[in-house]
Amino acid sequence: MTATRRKHWKLQCLAVLLFIACALLLKRIHSSPSSRGGVHLEVSIARSQEDDAELRARIIRLAEEAKSLDDAASVDIVHAGTNATYVLRTLARGEFIEAPDRWCSGKAGKPKKHVIPYLRTCFPEVLKLNKTRIRETLRLVRDKFRSAGIPTVITYGSLMGSLRYHRRMPFDCDYDLLVHQADRDRAMQAVLQLAQNPDNRMRIYDLQSMTGCVQIGLDCKPDTDWLKPETWREFGSGVEFHKGIPVGRTWKAYPALMGECAINLDIFVSTHDDVVMERLEEYTPLYRPLEGTLVRVFEGGREYLENYYGSSLDVCIPKSPQSIRGVVHSLPKPCRRLQVPCDDLDVLYPRIVRFSSPDNATIYEVGLEVDSGGRCWINSVFRSTS
């Protein structure tokens, strides 16, 4: 073999070796997890974390700015104890902040699932309310009780809804308030004082003997005829008056008296729940959002509700029957006693998203909703510092 041919042969071998090396390298690259989407996944996760960090920073700014807007109707601030401060900022629809879809798709961030039709039937959005008027009235009642020195806390569906949505349970038709038995009469008279002013659009109806509660009508027809005993003469002994308050003995007058109100706030008293009220002073007052209003809650509320409903709060139970504007509506039979995982409802009613400051001293929460196009929006910002 001549020197020229030997040199040519070596170059061919070198080229083959280089080709094999490149092929092996490419095979290794294509067989790695990164080449099958791992790199893109890591980039996507990094972007998600970066987007979340920017959004959380914006949420924190909104909460901090609210302190200088404490006279605005959209802001509610409560100072409780030495260090505890609660700030709630409710966003008008034009101020909603778009959030990532995963924020509205359940605790685990799972993808949206097809909403089974019976869920919409059994867990309907009960009422479309005048949010501004309801917010104003709830604050009016809260402040009246506070000035009168009457401790109250939200309970049942209102407490559960506050923990999940910053509002009552969407498929619930009233608000629930707990008062100590010793304060019942004073609480009723305090509400009566408010209801006597037609501008407050309120009513009060004592149904203790039938339902175990006193009902306060909110966003009612603005008149005072309901306060006159002669208005209810046709119902005979079905409606009596005690200290200026109508007392229901039958259901006959109920649609006429409460049917002109958008929604009720029920005041409950019982020997069993007096224990809850008597322990309030053991803790720094706790407040949570409810329809744009900071309302007092009690320590151990989740455990209390699980015991009351006899199930985990991760299991949702439809409200049945429902009293809407004085008329009782029963849900279809398949809905009665139905229990479904609350995660299934997150597509309809997304739950709050919560995060904390690095030292865990400050907690931030955002209320969420999904529009008709499936986009996820932030509608409220809550900040609590202890």
> Is the separation of the CB atoms in 155 and 377 below 8 Å?
no
Residues 360 and 372 in one domain: yes
Chain position carrying tokens 């409220």: 380
Residue 115: how many CB atoms within 10 A of its CB? 13
**What is the C-alpha separation between 70 and 254, in angstroms, rounded?**
39
**Does an H or E element contain 27, and which?**
helix 3-31
Residue 223 in any domain: the answer is yes
pLDDT at 50: 52
Residues 341 and 358 in one domain: no
Residues 64 and 161 in one domain: no
Residue 27 in any domain: the answer is no
- Strand runs labelled E in 299-370: 315-316, 322-324, 327-329, 340-341, 353-356, 362-370
Task: Kindly report the pTM of this predicted structure.
Answer: 0.82
Residues 373 and 342 in one domain: no
Residues 340 and 357 in one domain: no
Residues 368 and 384 in one domain: yes
pLDDT at 135: 96
pLDDT at 372: 85
Residue 30 in any domain: the answer is no
Residues 84 and 72 in one domain: yes
**Does an H or E element contain 88, and which?**
strand 84-90
Residues 304 and 371 in one domain: no
Residues 187 and 56 in one domain: no
Residue 9 in any domain: the answer is no
Cis peptide before 111 (omega within 30 of 0): no
pLDDT at 39: 37
Residues 170 and 223 in one domain: yes
Residue 14 in any domain: the answer is no
Residues 126 and 185 in one domain: yes
Print the domain residue range for 100: 43-105+350-386
Residue 214 in any domain: the answer is yes
**What is the C-alpha separation between 176 and 298, in angstroms, rounded?**
13
Residues 277 and 248 in one domain: yes
Residue 304 in any domain: the answer is yes
Residue 259 in any domain: the answer is yes
Query: Would you write out the chain's pLDDT as a tens digit for each of its 386 residues?
Result: 555 555 455 555 555 445 555 554 444 444 444 444 443 333 343 445 457 899 999 999 999 999 888 778 999 999 987 788 999 999 999 999 999 998 998 654 455 555 677 788 888 887 788 999 999 999 999 999 999 999 999 999 999 999 999 999 888 889 999 999 999 999 999 999 999 999 999 999 999 988 889 999 999 999 999 999 999 999 999 999 999 999 999 888 999 999 899 999 999 998 889 999 999 988 889 999 999 999 999 999 999 999 888 888 888 888 766 666 666 677 888 887 788 888 888 888 999 999 998 888 899 999 999 998 889 999 999 999 97
Total number of domains in the chain: 2
